[in-house]
Structure 1
């Protein structure tokens, strides 16, 4: 299968398009105001929104569902999320409040980006398709679901061997949005952060060479190398 990975956004908030001959799978959906950026990026790659076959969410928090309802409501794109986060993605449940250390400059940067990209105009998803741990979705790139409860009950890793990448959502951050610190660490805003390290051990033997967190730079290396660098 010919496949390429397209990063849309930046190290604060990004979505990723897995582009194949059979269409596109979008991993996470950025912020609500990111639709123009998505359209530009797909156009540069010779594709359009009509090529998107599905959106797959690492979890249901508002900074990951951004353009999902627009894609679903106006373009008929199905949105997939773990059954334990379905209510959160539909706006029926709230995510955990932030806790722990923070630095004013980093918080202001995150808020500025969120405001500029429409992140406060949250559009909950009207209807979702649910999956479970171990499912392989019938979408371009055949994304495989690996449960990572901790950040939220339905947090998952999404394994896409076609692009040699593993998407870990907010279970891991490589740059904390609240402190600005560059380090491999448990993501902030977590429901049960103490649960996350054990969940992450499920990834240790996977061979993919690119680990993609929900926030922060991509990690070039295996999951084992990522976990060995984890600061707890």
Structure 2
């Protein structure tokens, strides 16, 4: 789904990942669930591109619903997978602390579970090899993604700022649709390791120039990054 010049979304408001298309090639942000591989192939075909045009995949963090087709892309096409050093082990093994789910409604929770099953979530493969990245890095990938540390949801949670796409990709640093309650609007994401740290990290977005704030769950949000922290806390 094309959102704007250079900017495409794979998936939907339940689980989403993103594609940045440039003349120099393609950068992906997150990899959804394994079944999003088909979404990726459809989007590439619509652009007249193929997996050979993908130069890199940047993960906002290492949770299973964000690494879905990463290992397949790395293994079959040699695409490097980038993840913050503090989440590298999570992406490679799935190791993470147990966190309380928080509020839940049966219907939305079942929809999330059902969508995951339809996208082969039980067949997620962890990433055998990753390239570790750090806060403040500008990656040598199409669009020159800038890594912004957003610890809280996980130790290595990051936002990915791509000025070319006028966008900042925030993973699970926030959500605009709570997958367990169905509540819409900007708010903290569930399954967060350290909720207080996650809320504080939203201030790290201030000063970025972007029109799109794009979460891994929920609708795309058009706002100034300067307003994100206050809006989420107020909500």
Give the direction of change, closer, same or farther, for the CA distance of 1:91–1:158 in structure 2 (3 Å limit). same
Per the alignment, residue 68 of structure 2 pairs with 66
Per the alignment, residue 183 of structure 1 pairs with 185
- Unpaired stretches in structure 2, ≥5 consecutive residues: none
Q: Kindly state the Cα deviation for residue 224 of structure 1 after the two structures are TM-superposed.
A: 2.0
Query: Comparing 219-228 with 142-151, which one deviates more in the overlay?
Result: 219-228
Q: Kindly state the Cα deviation for residue 98 of structure 1 after the two structures are TM-superposed.
A: 4.0
What is the rounded CA distance, in whole Å, between the counterparts of 2:178 and 2:78 in structure 1?
34
> Match for 1:161 among 160, 163, 178?
163
Q: Kindly state the Cα deviation for residue 91 of structure 1 after the two structures are TM-superposed.
A: 1.3
What is the rounded CA distance, in whole Å, between the counterparts of 1:17 and 1:99 in structure 2?
29
Residues 131-178 of structure 1, C-alpha deviations (whole Å, 9 max, x = no match): 000000000000000000000000001000000000111010011001
Contact 1:8 1:38 (C-alpha < 8 Å) held by counterparts: yes
Counting only pairs closer than 5 Å after superposition, residues 1-232 of structure 1 correspond to structure 2 as: 4-94=6-96, 96-231=98-233
Contact 1:6 1:16 (C-alpha < 8 Å) held by counterparts: yes
Residues 94-132 of structure 1, C-alpha deviations (whole Å, 9 max, x = no match): 354342100000100000100001111110001000000
- Unpaired stretches in structure 1, ≥5 consecutive residues: none
Q: How many residues align?
A: 230
Q: Which runs of 4+ in 1 moved over 4 A?
A: none
Contact 1:96 1:190 (C-alpha < 8 Å) held by counterparts: no
Contact 2:207 2:225 (C-alpha < 8 Å) held by counterparts: yes
Q: Kindly state the Cα deviation for residue 225 of structure 1 after the two structures are TM-superposed.
A: 2.6
What is the rounded CA distance, in whole Å, between the counterparts of 1:212 and 1:65 in structure 2?
17
TM-score after normalising by structure 2 = 0.95
SS at match of 2:152: coil
TM-score after normalising by structure 1 = 0.96
What is the rounded CA distance, in whole Å, between the counterparts of 1:95 and 1:183 in structure 2?
27
Q: CA RMSD in A?
A: 1.2
What is the rounded CA distance, in whole Å, between the counterparts of 1:94 and 1:100 in structure 2?
17
